[in-house]
Amino acid sequence: MNKERKLWIGFALVMSISFAVLGYYGYEIYQQAPPVPDRIISVGNQVVFTGQEIKDGQNIWQSMGGQEVGTIWGHGAYVAPDWTADWLHREAVFILNKYAKRDFNKDFDALNGEQQAALKMRLQGDVRSNTYNEKTNTISVSADRLEAISYLSNYYRGLFMDEPEFDQLRHDYAIPKMSIKDKERMHKMNAFFFWATWATVTERPGAKISYTHNWPSDELVGNVATPDLLIWSGISIILLIFCIGILVFYHVKSGEDEHLETPAEDPLLRQGMTPSMYHIKKYFLVVSLLIVLQVVMGVITAHYGVEGNGFYGIPLDQFLPYSITRTWHTQLAIFWIATAWLATGLYIAPAVSGKDPKFQVFGVNFLFIALLIIVLGSMAGQWMGVMQKLNLIDNFWFGHQGYEYVDLGRFWQIFLLIGLFLWLALMVRPLLTVLRQKTAEKSLIVMFLISCTAIALFYAAGLMWGRQINLAIAEYWRWWVVHLWVEGFFEVFATVVIAFLFVRLGLLKTKTATINVIFSTIVFMSGGILGTCHHLYFSGTPVGVMALGATFSALEIVPLVLIGYEAYHNYRLSKATEWIKDYKWPIYFMIAVAFWNFLGAGVFGFIINPPIALYYVQGLNTTALHGHTALFGVYGMLGIGLMLFVLRSLFRHEVWNEKLMKFIFWSTNIGLLTMALFSLLPIGIWQAVESITHGMWYARSSELMQQPGMVTLKWMRAIGDTLFGFGILALCYFVFEISFRKKR
């Protein structure tokens, strides 16, 4: 059995076993999710909230922006608090002060240590006891908790509506007045906030940990790190070191690539151009505009962190609130990166076969229009949802779903899924004739088509939750989209495309590229599929999910250890011959991808991967640090690199402005690095220290985030943002200039 066949078998085993295990734990999440009761009752069977009010409240929270306005269970945006951590701490302080007044006629802070300890034990006995009655499907709360619920309901009503005393806090949290328009809606959203908080402190049946594994940390209610967090963190680090050793051994044993005589001239100059390939140009024009718009939204979003109700005095929050700018900032990133990659695929497929199937040009143009409608339509729907112009059902279908990275309404999700399958058809048809010929590139093309199929298919996971589904279940499927679709199969697609481009340039042997691609895919997906669970440690999932996520997310870092070799290899290829200099900048962006893979996905990713680390830093700026340097640093830089590669091929006889390209490359990379090291990293470290010392509630509070030193660090981000922004503007100018330049 040859090496390639063995790798294909290994690939099949990894995929089938990993998805079987992930599916099994999905079943367990369905079974063990925190229950949503029919009623929450107090003494005397007084109804506090109904189950329908909790479900409607979840939809109201989503319509307001959901995870784009603070976080729930640690997932979402970073300016406002985590509402579960905030509610939990405020409830604890209220009840403790009530105990202290009743027993000692003093505030809790005025008591001695022994008295405080006794009251905390009483509090924990109340809030940690699981009072869910499975037979009656009710949750009962004590009289003290009922008073706390009433107090906090008034507090959040004032914050999200228009009480003047909350003006400063709304400014700090970047929440506009009347984000919720009426008291009935606010009552329902309070019901959801209470239920989500109840799950963070109430112990699972038969266990001494809460439904969210004692997250968020808060010593008052007994939410402290468990031994499991430490044990599985240790196991993940040991496994990481062990697997790195194995990979290094394999790499050294396999040796260098076989020497390949570099072609005397660019092989792509002999490649024919089909009509559909010329139509790809407009995709990149839109990509460049979307990048600029995404950066503008990012600048406004970052500024809301220091001026929460405006933009340099302009009351922008009245018609473009933080939740919208952040939604568009994250969503546009997915849209333009995906569009750049999809357009590259549409260019490569007919380039391989040398001709267009029937109606290929029509399909390319139709898909382009469909993507424009999806982008603009979903953005308009999200704005209408956040501005509370849609009812809950219409908001679910056409407005703002409130889940980070999949904020677009269900109609737009279905529309996008259809568009992805149309793209898949446009990819498959030109390649079928090549596959029948059984050329040396067959295995590489098969892997290419597998990745394309997965990109189309796995976005369907975003359709697996309903409008009023349990939040724990919605999170499970959401991470299928964010982790498996974005971080998983797009990564496979990228690996195949880069290898394929180097093969077509005559810089890699087909057999070598095929073996490397299959092996890389096996290594990446071995950790990547089950590594999805590391996003679910504290999302109302059973303990087994944490063990699984800790173990396999460590494996995701393993292939990134040798990423420096990939960067050096690509750099060496850029010097292989004179004509390859034409592809210098696309290759340089691929070198940048290797750097950011190591730093952003590897180093900054592993900072937050171990359970004990994530317990204290989930929802802090350490997540934003990883998000920016991995999403833009890896996928964004690769999207730009692929776009430049296609433009180089489309305009093969045009001379590029070297000074402009040099500015674009260095300003975007240095700008991103400066943003990370001068602002996001120090803010994240500061927050982490406060989270460990005081609790998650304080690490996200306005008391900390509006301190002068913290505000200075937020402003420091402007240095990197400005440099980065100029680089993006220059890139947009370059794409338009080369596309409309008078041909020589």
- b/e code 186-219 from CB counts within 10 Å (16+ = b): bbbbbbbbbbbbbbbbbbbeeeebbbbbbbbbbe
CA dist 169 and 166 (Å) reads 5
Position 447: which residue type? M
Contact between residue 322 and residue 69 where contact means Cβ atoms under 8 Å apart:
yes
595 C-beta neighbours (distance < 10 Å), count: 19
CA dist 430 and 364 (Å) reads 13
CA dist 628 and 549 (Å) reads 22
Residue 743 has a pLDDT of 61
Report DSSP state, residue 213: T
CA dist 430 and 651 (Å) reads 22
Contact between residue 170 and residue 159 where contact means Cβ atoms under 8 Å apart:
yes
Nearest to 582 by CA among 636, 505, 509, 670: 505
pLDDT along the chain (744 residues), means of 10: 85 94 95 96 92 98 96 95 98 98 95 95 97 96 97 97 95 95 96 98 95 96 93 88 80 60 66 87 96 96 92 90 97 94 90 87 96 96 96 97 95 96 93 80 86 91 95 96 83 82 78 84 86 92 88 77 64 70 87 89 89 95 94 92 91 89 97 97 97 96 96 96 97 95 65
Helix (H, G, I), strand (E, B) or coil at 707: coil
Position 277: which residue type? M
CB within 8 Å of 332: residues ≥ 6 apart: 290, 293, 294, 297, 375
Angle (CA) 734-740-741 rounded to 5° is 80
CA dist 132 and 34 (Å) reads 10
Residue 57 has a pLDDT of 98
Angle between helices 584-596 and 658-675 (to 10 degrees): 10
* CA dihedral of 102, 107, 112, 114, whole degrees rounded to 10: 40
Nearest to 57 by CA among 138, 156, 165, 137: 156
Domain map (residue ranges) of the chain: 33-226
Contact between residue 572 and residue 566 where contact means Cβ atoms under 8 Å apart:
no
Q: Is 578 exposed, middle or buried (0-12, 13-18, 19+ CB in 10 A)?
A: exposed
Q: Can you name the residues that pair with 71 across neighbouring β-strands? A: 76, 82
Helix (H, G, I), strand (E, B) or coil at 529: coil
Contact between residue 516 and residue 490 where contact means Cβ atoms under 8 Å apart:
no
Residue 143 has a pLDDT of 95
Please state whether the peptide bond connecting residue 430 to the residue before it is cis, i.e. omega within 30 degrees of 0: no
Position 605: which residue type? G
CA dist 296 and 611 (Å) reads 35
Beta pairing class for 39-41 and 138-140: parallel
- b/e code 334-356 from CB counts within 10 Å (16+ = b): bbbbbbbbbbbbbbbbbbbbeeb
Please name the residue that has the structure tokens 């024919």. Answer: 272
Contact between residue 32 and residue 542 where contact means Cβ atoms under 8 Å apart:
yes
Residue 375 has a pLDDT of 96
Beta pairing class for 138-140 and 132-133: antiparallel
pTM of the model: 0.94
Nearest to 405 by CA among 473, 486, 289: 486
- b/e code 598-618 from CB counts within 10 Å (16+ = b): bbbbbebbbbbbbbbbbbbbb
CA dist 589 and 638 (Å) reads 6
Residue 30 has a pLDDT of 96
φ and ψ of 311, to 5 deg: -135, 100
Please name the residue that has the structure tokens 């050793």. Answer: 245
φ and ψ of 131, to 5 deg: -100, 20
CA dist 696 and 639 (Å) reads 36
| Residue 630 token pair | 């991995």
